[in-house]
């Protein structure tokens, strides 16, 4: 028993050592860049250490993997080689971790960003790093790394790892049990707990000051994640023609014959509420030639709104839609830009423009915004308040993914009641995402198929969407509020598709609704081909606010705007024009290309789609 107790104590001490090590590195970072903290309240700075804990714990668990194995071996033998091997591993970990901390501190002032996979490019020429660093930086790095390594080894020898785990007899059973238990706990720590969504950088993001978020994100975790997911990006992957030609075609695509606009609002100082509908496909909407009696309340709203009948999702995941809507940047095949903070920092922000115009901005979601690194992206967008499931009262019922839609609709309505005008607020629904464990308190569909649980979840969401509008229609702010209802991406339904990555699959609802709409436009349809990336530019133009930085979008309220929609399709693309569409993509090892509509247009569409993708990918790579 004594052996096991010593084992546990050693492991806990080692775990706490790494947490202390990370905290010291973070403190050093903040001290070096203290000049950037002058205008930030002390309380917000200090809480950086608290918000950093989850990623620190995850990183510490990665570093404990080999020591756990060695401690299990130590339960079976008293051979000296186990201790020697531990100190070799510990010294290497300590040295590398110290270099990462000091490397990030040294480059942050110039890069304005954390260490990422790009450092691998510089490591190919290490002498250039040394020659470009200042003498002060080199001395500072050498001294700090020496202190960290020497101090860490001394602390470990005196207080953590000792050769005192006496082995009176072989304890193979206990060693195996310990390996399973502590290995399992370690794995749990790596992924950030029991949540369905593994931990991301968003777990540490908490502030509108980028430097505090950068300090809170563990540099070792961030670097490994960056290398694992982004370092293999091939800069020539979508190189169909020379870059100048691709850029020329892209520019011509967005060339507008005449700068004109159809005004849809009675005045431009309106509140804006965006309801982002999880997985809502056009198949679910009767007004879009979909099935009846699934989204009856949405269809009631259509009678007094402007329905866009040819709107297409840019991607296939929620984080892609959120980026495309609020930054106007299309989805990139194979990569989600929200996962890479050193890239999405180059993107504009629709909420930021609203903030500058005096609007209060907010985002509401019943689940966990760690998914897809959405929280950190929303902080980049500078939403004034971000409310997720963990912020909601603990008394509310919860499904596996979070607070069901009926409670979030009610909470959002209550929040708007006391929100200062003008405001821009987003409500992102949840219940129509698997596992579809919404309360069974609404009418269900009479369709029996594999997707019936999904259809029932959409009908549930639609029911409470109707209740939401019934609740808010008498609010004093309601008459001055523009509502935008849009699907984030599509989903398989009871209606089969010939191609999973075709325009009919990407087809989603987009509805403008509210009292500020010009009366004669209510109950009308607009058949312009458009997508998520067009929303920010188009709405800002209606409000007479700056939209010049949304270079990928077009104004859907300009009758002379070009009509097209791009979407990512696995490792390829889809390209939609009013008269035809063309797509090229890989599905596993098999390559697909197809065209629908007017076949005489397909060669031109292929050229346009490839040029658009090439320019998009080049832009993403060079961010």
The pair of structure tokens assigned to 450 is: 């594999």
| Distance in angstroms (rounded) separating the CA atoms of residues 536 and 556 | 10
pLDDT of residue 131: 55
pLDDT per residue as tens digits for the range 122-136: 566 566 556 556 678
When computed from its CA atoms, the radius of gyration of the chain, rounded to whole angstroms, is 27
Regions in the chain scoring below 50 on pLDDT: 1-2, 164
Helix (H) or strand (E) holding 380: helix 374-381
User: What HEC string does 489-516 produce?
Assistant: CCCCCCCCCCCCCCHHHHEEEEEEECCC
Cβ-based neighbours of 14, under 8 Å, separated by 6 or more: 64, 67, 156, 160, 161
Task: Evaluate whether 73 touches 89 at the Cβ level (below 8 Å).
Answer: no
Cβ-based neighbours of 205, under 8 Å, separated by 6 or more: 51, 213, 216, 217, 375, 376, 379
pLDDT of residue 125: 56
CATH number for the segment(s) 275-553: 3.40.720.10
- Whether a cis peptide bond, with omega within 30° of 0, leads into 69 is no
pLDDT of residue 304: 97
The residues pairing with 274 across neighbouring beta strands, listed in sequence order, are 426, 484
- Tell me how many degrees the CA angle 267-269-274 measures, rounded to the nearest 5: 105
Q: How far is CA 258 from CA 200, 261, 558, in A?
A: 45, 9, 8
Parallel/antiparallel/unpaired status of strands 572-576 and 590-597: unpaired
Residue in 249, 267, 256, 287 with CA at minimum distance from that of residue 534: 256
Helix (H) or strand (E) holding 592: strand 590-597
Tell me the DSSP string of 434-452.
TT----S-S---S--STTH
Task: Show the beta-strand stretches assigned E in 318-428.
Answer: 360-365, 385-387, 423-428
pLDDT of residue 164: 47
Q: What is the three-class DSSP state of 464?
A: helix
Task: Evaluate whether 211 touches 33 at the Cβ level (below 8 Å).
Answer: yes
For tokens 């023609």, name the residue.
Answer: 241
| Distance in angstroms (rounded) separating the CA atoms of residues 537 and 239 | 28
Task: Evaluate whether 428 touches 276 at the Cβ level (below 8 Å).
Answer: yes
The pair of structure tokens assigned to 577 is: 């024009």
Q: What is the three-class DSSP state of 275?
A: strand
The pair of structure tokens assigned to 184 is: 């399992």
The pair of structure tokens assigned to 585 is: 């993509």
The residues pairing with 50 across neighbouring beta strands, listed in sequence order, are none
> Which spans in 156-289 are helix H?
172-191, 210-216, 219-230, 243-253
Residue in 305, 582, 291, 600 with CA at minimum distance from that of residue 456: 291
Cβ-based neighbours of 224, under 8 Å, separated by 6 or more: 62
Q: What is the three-class DSSP state of 171?
A: coil
The residues pairing with 311 across neighbouring beta strands, listed in sequence order, are 508, 530
The residues pairing with 410 across neighbouring beta strands, listed in sequence order, are none
The pair of structure tokens assigned to 44 is: 């917000």
pLDDT of residue 167: 53
pLDDT of residue 295: 97
């Amino acid at each position: 028993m004594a052996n096991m107790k010593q084992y546990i104590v050693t492991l806990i001490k080692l775990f706490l050592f790494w947490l202390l090590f990370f905290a010291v590195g973070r403190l050093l970072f903040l001290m070096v860049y203290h000049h950037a903290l002058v205008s930030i309240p002390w309380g917000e700075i200090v809480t950086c250490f608290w918000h950093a804990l989850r990623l620190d714990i995850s990183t510490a668990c990665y570093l404990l993997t080999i020591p756990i194995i060695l401690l299990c071996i130590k339960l079976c033998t008293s051979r000296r080689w186990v201790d020697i091997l531990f100190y070799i591993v510990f010294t290497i970990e300590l040295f590398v971790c110290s270099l990462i901390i000091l490397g990030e501190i040294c480059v942050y002032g110039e890069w304005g960003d954390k260490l990422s996979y790009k450092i691998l490019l510089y490591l190919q020429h290490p002498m250039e790093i040394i020659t470009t660093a200042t003498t002060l930086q080199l001395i500072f790095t050498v001294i700090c790394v020496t202190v960290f390594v020497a101090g860490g080894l001394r602390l470990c020898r005196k207080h953590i790892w000792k050769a005192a785990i006496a082995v009176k007899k072989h304890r193979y059973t206990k060693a195996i049990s310990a390996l399973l238990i502590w290995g399992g706990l370690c794995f749990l720590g790596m992924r950030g707990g029991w949540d369905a969504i593994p931990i991301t950088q968003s777990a540490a993001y908490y502030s509108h000051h980028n430097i505090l978020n950068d300090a809170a994100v563990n540099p070792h975790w961030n670097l490994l994640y960056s290398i694992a997911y982004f370092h293999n990006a091939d800069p020539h992957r979508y190189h169909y023609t020379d870059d100048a030609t691709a850029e020329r075609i892209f520019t011509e695509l967005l060339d507008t014959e005449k700068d004109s606009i159809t005004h849809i609002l009675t005045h431009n100082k309106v509140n804006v509420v965006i309801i982002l509908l999880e997985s809502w496909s056009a198949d679910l909407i009767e007004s879009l030639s979909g099935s009846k009696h699934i989204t009856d309340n949405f269809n009631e709203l259509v009678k007094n709104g402007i329905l866009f009948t040819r709107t297409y999702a840019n991607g296939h995941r929620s984080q892609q839609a959120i980026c495309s809507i609020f930054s106007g940047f299309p989805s990139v095949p194979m990569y989600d830009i929200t996962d890479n903070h050193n890239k999405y920092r180059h993107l504009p922000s629709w909420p930021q423009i609203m903030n500058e115009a005096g609007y209060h901005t907010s985002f509401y979601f019943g689940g966990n915004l760690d998914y897809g690194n959405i929280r950190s992206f929303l902080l980049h967008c500078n939403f004034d308040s971000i409310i997720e499931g963990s912020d909601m009262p603990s008394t509310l019922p919860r499904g596996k993914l979070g607070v069901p839609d009926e409670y979030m609709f009610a909470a959002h309505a209550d929040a708007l009641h006391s929100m200062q005008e003008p405001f821009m607020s987003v409500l992102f629904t949840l219940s129509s995402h698997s596992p579809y464990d919404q309360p069974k308190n609404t009418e269900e569909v009479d369709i029996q198929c594999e997707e019936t649980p999904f259809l029932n979840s959409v009908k549930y969401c639609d029911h409470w969407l109707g209740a939401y509008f019934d609740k808010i229609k008498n609010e004093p702010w309601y008459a001055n509020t523009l509502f935008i209802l849009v699907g984030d991406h599509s989903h398989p339904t009871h209606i089969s598709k010939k191609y999973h990555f075709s325009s009919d699959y990407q087809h989603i609802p987009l509805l403008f609704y509210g009292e500020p709409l010009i009366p004669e436009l209510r109950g009308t349809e607009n058949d312009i081909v458009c997508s998520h990336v067009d929303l920010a530019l188009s709405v800002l133009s209606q409000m007479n606010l700056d939209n010049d930085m949304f270079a990928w979008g077009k104004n859907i309220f300009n009758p002379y705007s070009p009509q097209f929609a791009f979407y990512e399709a696995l490792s390829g693309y889809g390209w939609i024009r009013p008269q035809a569409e063309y797509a090229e993509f890989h599905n596993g090892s098999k390559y697909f290309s197809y065209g629908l509509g007017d076949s005489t247009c397909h060669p031109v569409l292929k050229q346009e789609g490839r040029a658009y993708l090439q320019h998009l990918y080049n832009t993403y790579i060079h961010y």
